[in-house]
C-alpha cells in the first residue's frame, strides 16, 4: 500500500469503517510512515473532539395532538389556496364568456381599455347601461356559494358557471333590448307631449286675445257676472231659508 492509497482511506480507518484486514494493512503502513501517521493523528484528533461533545439531554416537548391539529390546519390552508386559485380561473373564464357571448369587443390601448357593444344594434338612444345586479345575479352568486359549500370540483364549477354565464349574458341582451324599447316609447311620448303643449299654448293665446277684445268693449264685467251665475245657480234650499229674513228686520 502506498501513501496516496493510505491517505484516501484514512477517514475510513478513523471512523472504523474498514474490515480487520484492511485496517491491519493501513496500520502497518502508518507504523512505517511518519507523514501518514501525522495525517492520521490530525483526523483522529477531530474525531475525538467531536465524540467528546456530551449528548444534549435537554427535553423536547412536542406532543402528538397539537401536531395533528397543525397538520389538519395546514391541509385546510392548502385546500383553501387551491380553491382560491380555481375561483380566480373561473372568474377569468366567466369574464371571457361574457365578452364572447355578449359580442363585446375589448381593445386594450395605450392608455385605456375600450369595451364596445355590437355595432349592428339599432342606434336608438344611448347604449343601455349594464343592468344592475338583479335577481339573476343574486341567484347566480347563491349558486356559486352552494357549490363551494358542497366542496365540488373545480372542473364542475367551471362548467356550471360557464353555463350560467351564457344564460346571464342572454338575459343581459334581452334586458338591453327592453331598455331600448322603453327608451323608444319614451321618445314617442315626449313628442306627443310637445305637440299637446303646443296646442295648449295656441288655445291659451286665442283665449287671451278674446279677453283683451272683450275688455276693450267694456263687456268683460257683464260676461263674467253671467258666467258666475251660470256656474253657480242659487240652490233652491238657500232661497227658501233666506225668505224669512226680511220679517226679522
Residue ranges in contact with other proteins by CB under 8 A:
8, 10-12, 14-15, 17, 41-43, 45-65, 67-68, 70-71, 74
> Which of 61, 245 has the CB closer to other proteins?
61
Quote the least distance from Cβ 136 to other proteins, whole Å.
43
Our measurement of the distance from residue 67's CA atom to the centroid of its chain's CA atoms, rounded to an integer in Å, reads 37
> Which of 10, 169 has the CB closer to other proteins?
10
CA distance 158 to 94: 8
Quote the least distance from Cβ 21 to other proteins, whole Å.
18
CA distance 55 to 57: 6
Quote the least distance from Cβ 55 to other proteins, whole Å.
7
> Which of 65, 237 has the CB closer to other proteins?
65
Quote the least distance from Cβ 86 to other proteins, whole Å.
22
Quote the least distance from Cβ 84 to other proteins, whole Å.
21
> Which of 19, 237 has the CB closer to other proteins?
19
Number of other CB atoms surrounding residue 121 within 10 Å: 14
C-alpha cell of residue 157: 364549477
Burial of 26 (0-12, 13-18, 19+ CB in 10 A): buried
> Which of 8, 245 has the CB closer to other proteins?
8
Evaluated on CA atoms 55, 61, 63, 69, the torsion sign reads: negative
> Which of 17, 156 has the CB closer to other proteins?
17
Distances in whole angstroms, Cα of residue 232 to Cα of each of 69, 177, 219, 243: 94, 54, 20, 19
CA distance 226 to 244: 27
Quote the least distance from Cβ 25 to other proteins, whole Å.
17
CA distance 91 to 162: 10
CA distance 206 to 204: 5
Amino acid at each position: 500500500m502506498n501513501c496516496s492509497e493510505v491517505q484516501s482511506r484514512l477517514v475510513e480507518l478513523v471512523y472504523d469503517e474498514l474490515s480487520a484486514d484492511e485496517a491491519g494493512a493501513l496500520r502497518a503502513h502508518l507504523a512505517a510512515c511518519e507523514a501518514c501517521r501525522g495525517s492520521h493523528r490530525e483526523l483522529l484528533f477531530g474525531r475525538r473532539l467531536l465524540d467528546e461533545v456530551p449528548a444534549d439531554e435537554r427535553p423536547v416537548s412536542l406532543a402528538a395532538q397539537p401536531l395533528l391539529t397543525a397538520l389538519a390546519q395546514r391541509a385546510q390552508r392548502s385546500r383553501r389556496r387551491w380553491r382560491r386559485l380555481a375561483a380566480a380561473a373561473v372568474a377569468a373564464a366567466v369574464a371571457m364568456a361574457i365578452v364572447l357571448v355578449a359580442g363585446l369587443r375589448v381593445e386594450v390601448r395605450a392608455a385605456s381599455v375600450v369595451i364596445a357593444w355590437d355595432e349592428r344594434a339599432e342606434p336608438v338612444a344611448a347604449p343601455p347601461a349594464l343592468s344592475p345586479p338583479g335577481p339573476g345575479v343574486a341567484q347566480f352568486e347563491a349558486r356559486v356559494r352552494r357549490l363551494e359549500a358542497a366542496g365540488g370540483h373545480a372542473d364542475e364549477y367551471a362548467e356550471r358557471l360557464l353555463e350560467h354565464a351564457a344564460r346571464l349574458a342572454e338575459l343581459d341582451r334581452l334586458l338591453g333590448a327592453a331598455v331600448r324599447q322603453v327608451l323608444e316609447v319614451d321618445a314617442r311620448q315626449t313628442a306627443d307631449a310637445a305637440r299637446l303643449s303646443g296646442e295648449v299654448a295656441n288655445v291659451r293665446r286665442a283665449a287671451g286675445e278674446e279677453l283683451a277684445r272683450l275688455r276693450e268693449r267694456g263687456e268683460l264685467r257683464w260676461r263674467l257676472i253671467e258666467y258666475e251665475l251660470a256656474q253657480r245657480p242659487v240652490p233652491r234650499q238657500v232661497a227658501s231659508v233666506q225668505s224669512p229674513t226680511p220679517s226679522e228686520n
